[in-house]
Every structure is written in C-alpha cells, then in structure tokens.
C-alpha cells in the first residue's frame, strides 16, 4: 500500500475533474463512453478508425467497470478509484 503519492497525482485527484471522474457519476460516464466507442468500432471494424475505436473503448470501459483511474496511475498515484477518492479527501 502506498503511503505517499506524487504531487502531480495529488493535484489531479483533488482537481474538479479528478474528483468527478472517480465519482459514481464519472464511473457511469466512463462505462457509457467505453461502450459507445466499442459500438462505433464494431460498426466500422473493417477500417483503421474502427480498430482504433475498439482499442480506445477498452480503456474507459474497464476503468468504469473495475473502478480504476489510469490517469492517476500514470501520474504516479493510486490506481484504485477508492484510493483516489481517499487521496482527494486527505488534507495536503
């Protein structure tokens, strides 16, 4: 378990977008967006855009379904949404 996250990750998790994207509403949005990208991708699967849409759609879909935040993890912070929410509540 991490005891400290990087400053960039802390700033992201406390930002309005970071708080929203890790909220229940943000999770639903990610699932819907991922599903939309996958649907568009499968509808145009014969093209490069279709394949790219399928690959891209996996990211928000899995993030919403499994409550993870790839942005926080890429910035050196926690991957799990619950840890991101806790980091946002912790005084800096």
Question: Are residues 60 and 73 located together in one domain of the fold?
Answer: no
Name the residue range of residue 81's domain.
1-22+69-92
Query: How large is the angle between the packed helices 7-14 and 81-89, nearest 10 degrees?
Result: 90
The per-residue pLDDT for range 18-49, each reduced to its tens digit, is 999 999 999 999 999 999 999 999 999 899 99
Provide the pLDDT confidence category of residue 5 given band limits of 50, 70 and 90. Answer: very low
Provide the pLDDT confidence category of residue 91 given band limits of 50, 70 and 90. Answer: confident
- Longest Cα–Cα distance of the chain, Å, equals 50
Question: Are residues 60 and 39 located together in one domain of the fold?
Answer: yes
User: What is the number of domains present in the chain?
Assistant: 2
The per-residue pLDDT for range 76-85, each reduced to its tens digit, is 999 999 999 9
Measured in whole angstroms, the distance separating CA 5 from the mean position of its chain's CA atoms is: 17
């Amino acid at each position: 378990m991490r005891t400290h996250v990087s400053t960039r990750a802390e700033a992201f998790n406390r930002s309005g977008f970071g708080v929203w994207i890790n909220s229940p509403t943000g999770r639903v949005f990610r699932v819907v967006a991922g599903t939309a990208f996958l649907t568009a991708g499968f509808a145009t699967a014969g093209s490069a855009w279709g394949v790219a849409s399928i690959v891209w759609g996996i990211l928000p879909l899995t993030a919403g379904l499994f409550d993870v935040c790839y942005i926080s993890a890429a910035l050196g912070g926690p991957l799990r949404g619950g840890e991101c929410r806790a980091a946002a509540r912790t005084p800096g």
